[in-house]
Amino acid sequence: MALSELYSDKILEIAGNAIQPGRLAAPDASARKVSRVCGSIIEVDIAVADGIITGYGHTVSACALGQTSAAIVAKAVVGTSVSDFTALRAQMLAMLKDGGQPPDGKWSNLAYLEPVRDFPARHASTMLVFDAVCDAIESLKAR
């Protein structure tokens, strides 16, 4: 597969129609991640109550892959437990690095990113939102 084929119509559609939630006014935790490979940047805010993500915001400056994963997370993350999100990050990493199965259920659109596994240089931007949210979760646990 050529790199240009990686950017499927569905990925471009999701990235192009992504909601831009902005930042939360009073987050419980925030994190910023930068991909050293491509320069993509994401800043996320989360609100958490009783182990459930109750609020989410982000600003993102990324390629279509980073925008797509961030858009899917923004749409589905509220209502997800922190442990389920941490498991989702692990599943995404396994999908990209070990040929694991893509997520399903409310996360099924992440399957559109499965072809990224053949392009290791694109893994970081695809994982950026997952890494940022998990960093924010970890900062909450550290308090």
Tell which wins on pLDDT, 142 or 98: 98
- Residue (of 100, 64, 92, 62) closest to 76 by Cα position: 92
Question: Checking DSSP bridges between strand 41-49 and strand 29-34, what pairing results, if any?
Answer: antiparallel
Dihedral, 100, 4, 68, 108 alpha carbons, nearest 10: -40
**Architecture of 3-142 per CATH?**
Alpha-Beta Complex (3.90)
| Total-model pTM | 0.94
DSSP state of 28: S
Spans of all domains in the chain: 3-142
Residue with more model confidence, 64 or 4? 64
pLDDT tens-digit readout, 74-102: 999 999 999 999 999 999 999 999 999 99
Average pLDDT over residues 104-109: 97
Q: In the numeric block, which tokens belong to residue 135? A: 């960093």
pLDDT of residue 4 exceeding 70, the answer is no
Mean pLDDT of the chain: 94
Residues 20-52 pLDDT 10s: 899 999 999 999 999 888 889 999 999 999 999
Tell me the one-letter amino acid at 1: M
User: At residue 138, does pLDDT exceed 80?
Assistant: yes
What does residue 50 show for φ and ψ, rounded to 5 degrees?
A: 50, 40
Contact residues for 141 (Cβ-Cβ < 8 A; gap 6+): none
Residue 60 Ramachandran class (φ > 0 left, ψ -120 to 50 alpha, else beta): beta
Among 131, 135, 28, which Cα is nearest to 73's? Answer: 131
- Residue 77 is classified by DSSP as -
Q: Cα separation of 72 and 60, whole Å?
A: 13
